[in-house]
C-alpha cells in the first residue's frame, strides 16, 4: 500500500531533507508531488507498458527489470513496474532502486508497513510472482512442503509457533442466554487490562483482538444472527479472562456462533496483523493555536478501544480516489490538574491535536471534514511501553512542535501513577510564542504540582521574548537534563521533527545517558 508522503524506502542522508511531516525526504522536481502522481494514475496512461494485461512473473524475469528506466519491484508476491513512479518517490530514486528487480518486501516493511502501496501503485501492477514448486525430499512432511510452495516474495501469512508458544496461545469459548451471546477468551496471561483488548462489532461481524506483548490473538467471526446495540467487555484482570457480551436482536436459540473469518483463532506477531480501521464521527474541532486544532472523534458504540500512552493511531482518508494514511498521537481533552487520581475520561472519545499545514495533503483534507462526518481510525501502534516509566525518579520530556502530543498522556500518567517520581521537566521547542501548544495549561500545572517544571525555547522569538531562545543544543541539554540526585533513575522522552529527535538523542548520549534511559518517538 502506498500511503503517501512518508516514503516507502529511506533516502541516503546526503540527499535527505525533512518535511514537516517528520520523515526525511528528498526534494522532488516541480510537478512531482503526490497529488501529481495521483493525477497521472487517473489519466488512463498505460503505466505498466503491458496494455492492461496482468502476467505471471518468474524470478528471472523480475531480475531483468533492474534499471531506472525499466524497474520492477515485488512486494508481498505482487510485482509493480515502478519506473513511472521514480520521480514521485518522496524517498528518492536511489532508494527505490535498492529493490530494483528483487523482492522489496522486507525493505518496505522496515520503513512503513502501513503505507498504502496497493492503492498508490495499483496502475503499476504487472502481476503476481509465479509459483516456484519445490521438489521436497520424501522425509519432509506435507505441511512443510506446502509452506515452501509459497509464491515467491510472499511472506508467510501466519507464522507457525513453536510448541512452547502454542501453550501460551489464548483460546475461546461461547455461551448464550435467551437474550445474550457471551464470548469468553482465556488469554492465559495475568494482568490483562483494558488497553490489551480491542473489540469491534460491525455489520454482524465480531472482531476481538487481544494484545499479549508483541503478539496478537484474534477472534473474528461473521455472526450467525443479528445483534444490536453496544458491546460489553468485561476483563477479569487477575485471571486473564475476557468476556465479550453481545445483545441478540431476536431472542432465538443460536445453533452456532457463526462463520470463522480469515484471521480467526490466530496468534501471531502484532506486526504481521493488518491494521484494522473503524469509522469514527467527528464531534468537535477546537482551535489550540493559529494552525493547530483539537479534534474530538467518537468511537462507534460497538467498539472497545483504549489508546495506551505513547502510542499512535493511523487515520485514513480517500484523497482524489487514493487511500492516504497518516499517523497521529491521541492526547487528552485537556491537561488534568488534579493528579491525585488517574484521569478518567470518557473512553468513547479519541482526542487528536493536529497541526494543519497550508500545503499538507492530509491535514488540508482533514481540515475540510465537517462535524458529524466520519473518518477511519486504526488500532493503536507504537513501541513505547508504560513499564519504562514505572521506576523513573526524574522524567525529562523534550518536545518540538506537535512532538508535544505523546507527552500529554505520558505527563498525566507519570504524575498520577509513578509513585517514585520526584521531578518531571518538559522542555518545549517552538518557533514563536503563538506556536506553543497548551501553554496556559502547562503553566497552570507547573504552579499546581511542584514536581512539574516547564521551559519554553523559541527558535524565532519576537524582540520582547525574555525566555530561552535557540535550538536544541548540547549546552541547553546539559543544563536542563540533570539527575535530581546522584544515581537517580532517569527516563528521557524526545519527539519532534526527525532531525531534531536524532540530534537530541546524540546530545543525550554525549552527555552520558544510556540507550535504555532514552525513548525517541519516531514513525
Ligand atoms: P505533507 O503533505 O506531508 O506535508 C507537510 C509539509 O511538508 C508541507 O508543508 C509540504 O509542503 C512539505 N512536504 C511534503 N512532502 C515533501 C517533500 N517530499 N519534500 C519537501 N517537502 C515536502 N502530527 C500532528 O499534527 N499531530 C500528531 O499527533 C502527530 N502524531 C504523529 C505520530 C507519528 C508516529 C508520526 C510519525 C507523525 C505524527 N504527526 C502528527 C505528523 C503527521 O503524521 C503528518 O506527517 C502531518 O500531519 C503532515 O501531513 P500532511 O499530509 O498534511 O503534510
Ligand atoms: P515546527 O513548528 O516546524 O518546529 C518546532 C521546533 O523545532 C522549532 O523551534 C523548530 O525550529 C525546531 N526544529 C525544526 N527542525 C529542527 C532541526 N532540524 N533541528 C533542530 N530544531 C529543529 O514543528 P512541527 O511542524 O510542529 O512538526 C512536528 C514534528 O513532530 C513533525 O515532523 C511530526 O511528524 C513529528 N511528530 C512525531 C510524532 C511521533 O513520532 N510519535 C508525534 C507527533 C509529531 P526552526 O525555527 O528552525 O524551524
Q: Is residue 35 in contact with ligand 1, taking CB distance under 6 Å?
A: no
The ligand whose atoms approach the alpha carbon of 406 most closely is 2
- Give the mean pLDDT of 19-27: 52
pLDDT above 50 (res 144): no
What is the model's pLDDT at position 27? 78
pLDDT digits (tens, 9 = 90+) for 176-196: 999 999 999 998 887 788 999
Q: H or E element: which one contains 303? A: strand 303-304
Q: Is residue 91 in contact with ligand 1, taking CB distance under 6 Å?
A: no
C-alpha cell at 193: 487490562
Short-list 125, 116, 127, 118, CA closest to 151: 127
The ligand whose atoms approach the alpha carbon of 494 most closely is 2
Q: How far is the CA of 1 from the centre of ligand 1 (A)?
A: 18
Mutate which of 5, 477, 496, 522 for ligand 2? The one with the most ligand atoms within 8 Å of its CB, which is 496
First to last CA, the chain: 16
pLDDT digits (tens, 9 = 90+) for 46-69: 898 887 778 889 999 999 999 999
For the four alpha carbons of 428, 486, 474 and 499, in that order, the dihedral sign comes to: negative
Instruction: State phi, psi for 283 to the nearest 5 degrees.
Output: -95, -40
Residue 481 contacts residue 492 (beta carbons within 8 Å) = yes
Q: How far is the CA of 121 from the centre of ligand 1 (A)?
A: 21
Between 399 and 29, the more confident residue is 399
pLDDT digits (tens, 9 = 90+) for 482-508: 998 988 999 999 999 999 999 999 999
Q: Percent of the chain beyond pLDDT 90?
A: 64
Q: Ligand 1, atom 27: nearest CA belongs to which residue?
A: 328
Q: Ligand 2, atom 25: nearest CA belongs to which residue?
A: 20
User: For residue 487, what is the DSSP state?
Assistant: T
pLDDT above 70 (res 160): no
Q: Ligand 2, atom 4: nearest CA belongs to which residue?
A: 401
User: Which atom number of ligand 1 is nearest to the Cα of residue 405?
Assistant: 28
Q: Ligand 2, atom 34: nearest CA belongs to which residue?
A: 22
Q: Ligand 2, atom 24: nearest CA belongs to which residue?
A: 401
Q: Is residue 354 in contact with ligand 1, taking CB distance under 6 Å?
A: yes
**Which range has the worst mean pLDDT, 12-16, 188-192, 272-276, 494-498?**
12-16
> Which string of b and e fits 109-143 if b means at least 16 CB within 10 Å?
bebbebbbbebbbbbbbbbbbbeeeeeeeeeeeee
User: Which atom number of ligand 1 is nearest to the Cα of residue 356?
Assistant: 52
What is the model's pLDDT at position 37? 87
Amino acid at each position: 500500500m502506498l500511503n503517501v508522503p512518508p516514503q516507502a524506502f529511506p533516502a541516503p542522508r546526503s540527499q535527505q531533507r525533512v518535511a514537516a511531516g517528520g520523515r526525511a525526504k528528498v526534494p522532488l522536481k516541480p510537478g512531482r508531488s503526490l497529488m501529481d502522481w495521483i493525477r497521472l494514475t487517473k489519466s488512463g496512461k498505460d503505466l505498466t507498458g503491458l496494455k492492461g494485461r496482468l502476467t505471471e512473473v518468474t524470478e528471472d524475469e523480475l531480475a531483468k527489470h533492474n534499471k531506472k528506466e525499466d524497474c520492477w519491484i515485488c512486494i508481498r508476491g505482487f510485482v509493480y513496474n515502478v519506473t513511472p513512479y521514480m520521480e514521485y518517490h518522496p524517498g528518492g530514486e536511489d532508494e527505490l532502486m535498492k529493490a530494483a528487480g528483487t523482492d522489496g518486501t522486507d525493505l518496505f516493511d522496515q520503513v512503513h508497513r502501513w503505507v498504502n502501496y496497493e492503492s498508490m501503485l495499483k496502475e503499476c501492477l504487472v502481476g503476481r510472482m509465479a509459483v516456484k514448486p519445490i521438489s521436497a525430499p520424501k522425509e519432509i512432511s506435507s505441511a512443510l512442503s506446502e509452506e515452501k510452495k509459497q509464491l515467491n516474495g510472499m511472506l508467510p501469512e501466519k507464522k507457525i509457533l513453536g510448541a512452547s508458544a502454542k501453550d501460551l496461545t489464548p483460546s475461546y469459548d461461547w455461551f448464550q442466554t435467551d437474550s445474550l451471546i457471551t464470548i469468553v477468551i482465556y488469554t492465559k496471561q495475568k494482568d490483562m487490562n483494558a488497553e490489551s483488548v480491542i473489540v469491534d462489532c460491525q455489520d454482524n461481524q465480531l472482531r476481538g483482538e487481544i494484545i499479549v506483548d508483541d503478539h496478537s490473538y484474534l477472534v473474528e467471526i461473521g455472526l450467525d444472527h443479528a445483534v444490536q446495540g453496544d458491546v460489553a467487555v468485561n476483563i477479569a484482570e487477575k485471571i486473564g479472562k475476557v468476556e465479550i457480551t453481545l445483545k441478540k436482536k431476536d431472542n432465538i436459540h443460536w445453533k452456532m456462533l457463526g462463520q470463522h473469518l480469515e484471521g480467526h483463532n490466530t496468534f501471531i506477531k502484532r506486526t504481521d496483523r493488518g491494521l484494522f480501521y473503524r469509522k469514527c464521527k467527528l464531534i468537535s474541532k477546537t482551535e489550540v493555536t493559529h494552525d493547530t486544532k483539537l479534534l474530538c472523534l467518537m468511537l462507534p458504540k460497538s467498539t472497545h478501544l483504549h489508546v495506551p500512552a505513547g502510542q499512535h493511531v493511523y487515520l485514513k482518508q480517500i484523497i482524489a480516489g487514493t487511500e492516504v494514511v497518516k499517523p497521529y498521537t491521541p492526547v487528552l481533552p485537556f491537561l488534568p490538574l488534579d493528579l491525585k487520581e488517574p484521569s478518567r475520561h470518557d473512553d468513547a472519545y479519541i482526542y487528536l491535536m493536529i497541526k494543519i499545514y497550508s500545503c499538507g495533503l492530509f491535514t488540508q483534507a482533514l481540515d475540510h471534514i465537517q462535524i458529524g462526518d466520519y473518518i477511519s481510525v486504526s488500532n493503536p501502534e507504537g513501541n513505547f511501553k508504560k513499564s519504562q516509566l514505572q521506576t523513573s525518579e526524574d522524567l525529562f520530556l523534550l518536545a518540538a512542535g506537535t512532538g508535544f502530543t505523546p507527552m500529554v498522556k505520558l505527563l498525566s500518567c507519570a504524575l498520577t501513577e509513578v509513585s517514585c517520581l520526584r521531578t518531571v521537566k518538559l522542555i518545549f521547542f517552538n518557533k514563536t510564542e503563538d506556536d506553543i501548544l497548551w501553554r496556559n495549561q502547562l503553566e497552570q500545572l507547573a504552579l499546581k504540582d511542584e514536581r512539574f517544571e516547564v521551559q519554553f525555547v523559541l527558535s524565532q522569538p519576537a524582540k520582547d521574548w525574555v525566555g530561552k531562545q535557540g535550538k536544541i543544543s548540547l549546552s541547553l541539554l546539559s543544563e536542563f537534563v540533570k539527575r535530581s540526585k546522584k544515581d537517580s533513575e532517569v527516563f528521557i522522552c524526545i519527539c519532534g521533527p526527525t532531525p531534531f529527535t536524532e540530534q537530541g538523542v546524540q546530545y543525550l548520549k554525549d552527555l552520558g545517558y544510556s540507550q535504555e534511559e532514552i525513548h525517541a518517538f519516531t514513525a
